[in-house]
Amino acid sequence: MNLSQPDLHRPVVIVNELGLHARSAAKIAEVAQNAKHKVWIARDTEKVDAASIIDLLTLGCIKGTEIVVCIESPADQPILNQIIDLVEAGFGE
Amino acid sequence: MLPTEAQEFKLTGIGASPGICIGKAYLVDREGVKVVPKYFINPDRTANEINRFKKAVVKAKEDLRQIISRMPEDLQHQTNILETHLLLFDDKMLFGRTIDFIDQDKVNAEWALKTVVGQIKSMFRSMEDAYLKERVSDIIHVSDRIMHYLTGAEAVKISEIDKRVILVARDLSPADTSQIQLERIKGFLTDVGGKTSHTGIIARTLDIPAVLGLVNATALIRNDDILIVDGNNGVVIINPEDHTLVEYEERQERYEAYRARITRESHLQALTADGEVIKVQGNIELPEEVVSVIDNGGDGIGLYRTEFQYMNRSEFPDEFELFDKYRDVVEVMAPNPVTIRTLDINGDKALSYTNNGNEVNPVLGLRAIRYCLQNPEVFRTQLRAILRAAAYGNVRILFPMITGCAELENARQMLNEAAESLAAEGIEHNPDIEVGVMIEVPSAVIMADQLAEKCDFFSIGTNDLIQYSLAIDRSNRNVAYLYDPLNPAIIRMVKHVADVARKKKIRVAMCGEMAGEPIHVPILLGLGITEWSMNPHAIPVVKRMVRGLSSIDARKFVKEIVDLTSAEEINRLARERFRIHINSGLVINQE
């Protein structure tokens, strides 16, 4: 990934055993709340507010689900990276 | 239609726990929270209402923070969950939407919160993954805490019921019942559920009358209605007239006197008129039920169902946790035996954290011993816990759903390995425990002679045996009429198992529902089965019946019935021949 060429959305696969449950969703929401603009998480055709735990939970992402993290402004690139890292690391579980 | 003024009417359901009680109705809605009131707010007061909601959230958060700070360190896992709950309080979907709702619809905060949570719940309901689906409970916990502060001092939850009431609910989950301060509950009524439902078990354990499966009790009964609950006959009378009240007060007195009498006798051995000793034992599901077995004079535990400790949680219990509970039961029951049945999941009880939720027909799927043999880690943990508990009393182990010798050999092999590993680690345990086989699949009946060579006892589970032998789904109403332990095929199968056991000189027990019904008592006696295990509440009645019977007569009777062609004939003949004995056990129910 070339960081000098910012992208506004990136796919990532949920790897932790329990999927996107309350605690993992809370970690994403915590990061997303620091963004300057809105951050979205999309799964298939559904798109939810990454700052809302409950919204994230309603996506029902089990292990192996691919989600797409979307930001609205390049200024939130670090937020996007942080979320991707979190998911890839299985939320440290 | 609802009667417009207090008018006596009657509902009929399933008498899941005997006894009679009279009291006031207390309605609990689906979620276990008292029905939430709805009222409109004057448009210029909405800001106040929103503030009231915000204050409740602040207090609820403060509350939870305190709980977290007082949490001992070994409950770190719990703390993590609660910290997530803290974040949920501010969540846009919950917090933001409730405020919007108050603002737009001009309704009270309680109603707005309830509606928003209802919407969130329906989103979760459509999810496929069982674990994630269950996460809705986190949101319910949080909203319950806010609701508590919104309604102030007023009791909103079943945990806070402050008067002796009769609980009326659609259904009660184990989580609901665990919150109830049970000394405040006089009786239970539910729309769904039957004798074997969780509510039924709890009610019987606590000796509280219950009528379940009333279909529309929550629609027809209103808060504070006067109710009579007759758990003996499965009847509820709403708004009784004076003469009905007097009649039931008398019945209640007679019933209690009768219970007291037979419970006193129950601690004595059950000896037939011709001197045969019958061991009358109790079935339990929760470790706490052991108290009920002792109170009712049980001669041990013939069936300890171990699934409960695996349910309503997100991961498997560890060895120590299991050992700790088993040890409690075993110690309390000693020197009488405790028969621990190994895990029987994925039939009617599925676990959210195992991945077998997608079987089309779980009853015929990867359940019980099949599941355990394919998941040796899970099985080993339980076997080790059982062997460790065996050091503290009289433990027997029982393997469910055995279909033939290979499964029994494999299970025994794993039991031996578990004992060896404990010995190698120097952990206290008792490797010399009796090993039994549940006879609940037709193939096990046919192979009984071979199985008998490899085990110490049989325990016949009639519930599944009937289901598998007669090919009926127990929960399918259309075929429920076929479900009858007196079906001649079932009688013959049970007889075959009992005969084989006698020939092979191993013990045979009966732990199905069949054992607890007075009409079956003479038949079991005649079949030569001398260890029976049943719902603890049935023990006194059954012991009393045994004392009035002679096993010689019972054996003659069984010779007659094996040639009958229908359950109806067997039933009729049993009632004719043993009317007096059955009535002695059922005096009250026959009224």
- A6 falls in which pLDDT band (50, 70, 90)? low
Q: pLDDT for B344-394, tens place per residue?
A: 987 656 666 665 556 777 788 888 999 999 999 999 999 999 999 999 999
What average pLDDT does the structure give for chain B? 85
CB contact under 8 A, A51 and B92: yes
Q: Which range has highest mean pLDDT (B186-200, B338-352, B411-425)?
A: B411-425
Domain boundaries, chain A: 9-92
Does residue B170 lie in a domain region? Answer: yes
B335 and B243, same domain (yes or no): no
Q: Which residues of B touch A21 (CB under 8 A)?
A: 131-132, 135
B221 and B361, same domain (yes or no): no
Q: Is the pLDDT assigned to residue B335 strictly greater than 70? A: yes
Higher pLDDT, B379 or B110: B379
Instruction: Classify each residue of B36-68 as buried b or exposed e, where b means 16 or more C-beta atoms within 10 Å of its C-beta.
Output: beeeebeeeebeebbebbeebbeebbeebeeeb
Q: Which residues of A touch B139 (CB under 8 A)?
A: 54
CB-CB contact of A21 with B135 (8 Å): yes
- B156 falls in which pLDDT band (50, 70, 90)? very low
Give the nearest partner residue to A54 out of B93, B131, B133, using CB atoms.
B93
Give the nearest partner residue to A52 out of B92, B131, B314, using CB atoms.
B92
**A53 Cα to chain B: minimum distance (Å):** 7
B60 and B142, same domain (yes or no): yes
Residue B423: give the domain boundaries: 267-586
Across the A:B interface, residue pairs with CB atoms under 8 Å apart total: 60
| Inter-CA distances, B457 with B330, B372, B386, B437, B481, Å | 19, 20, 17, 7, 32
Q: Which residues of B touch A (CB under 8 A)?
A: 80-81, 84, 87-88, 91-94, 120, 123-124, 127-129, 131-133, 135, 138-139, 314
Structure tokens at B427: 């952990």
Q: Which residues of B touch A19 (CB under 8 A)?
A: 129, 131-132
Q: Is the pLDDT assigned to residue B447 strictly greater than 80? A: yes
- Residues with Cβ within 8 Å of B478's Cβ and at least 6 positions away in sequence, in order, are none
Residue (of B262, B264, B347) closest to B307 by Cα position: B347
Q: Is the pLDDT assigned to residue B175 strictly greater than 80? A: no
Structure tokens at B306: 């171990």
CB contact under 8 A, A22 and B84: yes
In 10 A of CB B391, how many CB atoms? 16
B211 and B287, same domain (yes or no): no
CATH for B565: 3.20.20.60
CB contact under 8 A, A60 and B132: yes
| Inter-CA distances, B296 with B105, B223, B548, Å | 56, 34, 19
Does residue B262 lie in a domain region? Answer: no
Q: Is the pLDDT assigned to residue B32 strictly greater than 80? A: no
B49 and B20, same domain (yes or no): no
CB contact under 8 A, A54 and B91: yes
B560 and B582, same domain (yes or no): yes
Q: Is the pLDDT assigned to residue A34 strictly greater than 60? A: yes
B321 and B444, same domain (yes or no): yes
Query: Of B257, B289, B304, at which residue does a domain stop?
Result: B257
CB contact under 8 A, A21 and B133: no
Strands B277-284 vs A46-49: parallel, antiparallel or unpaired: unpaired
Q: pLDDT for B222-280, tens place per residue?
A: 888 899 999 988 999 999 999 999 999 999 988 888 878 777 888 889 999 999 999 99
Say how many domains are in chain B: 3
Higher pLDDT, B321 or B172: B321
Give the nearest partner residue to A22 out of B92, B129, B138, using CB atoms.
B138
Q: Which residues of A touch B133 (CB under 8 A)?
A: 60
Q: pLDDT for B456-505, tens place per residue?
A: 999 999 989 999 999 987 767 788 788 888 999 999 999 999 999 999 99
Give the nearest partner residue to A53 out of B81, B91, B128, using CB atoms.
B91
Q: Is the pLDDT assigned to residue B85 strictly greater than 90? A: no
CB contact under 8 A, B129 and A52: no
Residue B280: beta bridge partners?
B532
Q: What is the pLDDT of residue B145?
A: 81
Q: Which residue of B has its CA nearest to A59?
A: B127
Does residue B2 lie in a domain region? Answer: no
**B99 Cα to chain A: minimum distance (Å):** 15
Higher pLDDT, B342 or B185: B342
Q: Measured on CA atoms in the order B520, B525, B529, B531, is the torsion positive or negative?
A: positive
CATH for A9-92, among 1.10.490.10, 3.40.190.10, 3.30.1340.10, 3.40.50.2000?
Answer: 3.30.1340.10
Q: What is the pLDDT of residue B374?
A: 93
| Inter-CA distances, B516 with A39, B101, B212, B524, B542, Å | 61, 54, 19, 11, 7
Question: What whole-number distance in Å separates Cα of residue A32 and Cα of residue A48?
Answer: 12
Residue B509 exposed, middle or buried by CB count within 10 Å (0-12, 13-18, 19+): buried
CB contact under 8 A, B88 and A53: yes
CATH for B77: 1.10.274.10
Q: Give me the mean pLDDT over the B136-142 stretch.
A: 79
B536 and B415, same domain (yes or no): yes
Give the nearest partner residue to A54 out of B120, B131, B133, using CB atoms.
B120
Q: pLDDT for A49-91, tens place per residue?
A: 998 888 888 888 888 899 999 999 889 999 999 999 999 998 8
Q: Give me the mean pLDDT over the A15-27 stretch.
A: 85
Strands B165-169 vs B235-238: parallel, antiparallel or unpaired: unpaired
Does residue B3 lie in a domain region? Answer: no
Examine the residue annotation and report whether A9 is marked as an active-site residue of this protein: no
- B154 falls in which pLDDT band (50, 70, 90)? very low
Higher pLDDT, A42 or B68: A42
Query: Of B231, B257, B283, at which residue does a domain stop?
Result: B257
Give the nearest partner residue to B135 out of A21, A49, A52, using CB atoms.
A21
CB contact under 8 A, A54 and B94: yes
Q: At what angle do helices B376-389 and B319-333 cross, to 10 degrees?
A: 30
Q: What is the pLDDT of residue A14?
A: 92
B416 and B518, same domain (yes or no): yes
Question: What whole-number distance in Å separates Cα of residue B456 and Cα of residue B452?
Answer: 7
Q: Is the pLDDT assigned to residue B450 strictly greater than 90? A: yes
Question: What whole-number distance in Å separates Cα of residue B214 and Cα of residue B205?
Answer: 21
Q: pLDDT for B296-317, tens place per residue?
A: 899 999 999 998 888 767 788 9
Q: Is the pLDDT assigned to residue B185 strictly greater than 60? A: yes
Which position among A10, A19, A21, A38 bears the catalytic label?
A21
CB contact under 8 A, B132 and A62: yes
CB contact under 8 A, A60 and B88: no
Does residue B524 lie in a domain region? Answer: yes
Q: What is the pLDDT of residue A1?
A: 46
Does residue B4 lie in a domain region? Answer: no
B178 and B97, same domain (yes or no): no
**B81 Cα to chain A: minimum distance (Å):** 7
Q: What is the pLDDT of residue B34?
A: 54
Residue pointed to by tokens 């001092």: B153
B250 and B277, same domain (yes or no): no
- B580 falls in which pLDDT band (50, 70, 90)? confident
- A4 falls in which pLDDT band (50, 70, 90)? very low
Which of B9-13, B70-74, B95-99 has the lowest average pLDDT?
Answer: B70-74
Q: Which residues of B touch A61 (CB under 8 A)?
A: 132
Residue B435 φ then ψ, to 5°: -110, 125
**B197 Cα to chain A: minimum distance (Å):** 29
Q: Which residues of B touch A93 (CB under 8 A)?
A: none
Q: Is the pLDDT assigned to residue B577 strictly greater than 50? A: yes
Q: Which residues of B are catalytic?
A: 198, 511
Q: Is the pLDDT assigned to residue B67 strictly greater than 60? A: yes
B420 and B459, same domain (yes or no): yes
CB-CB contact of B444 with B451 (8 Å): yes
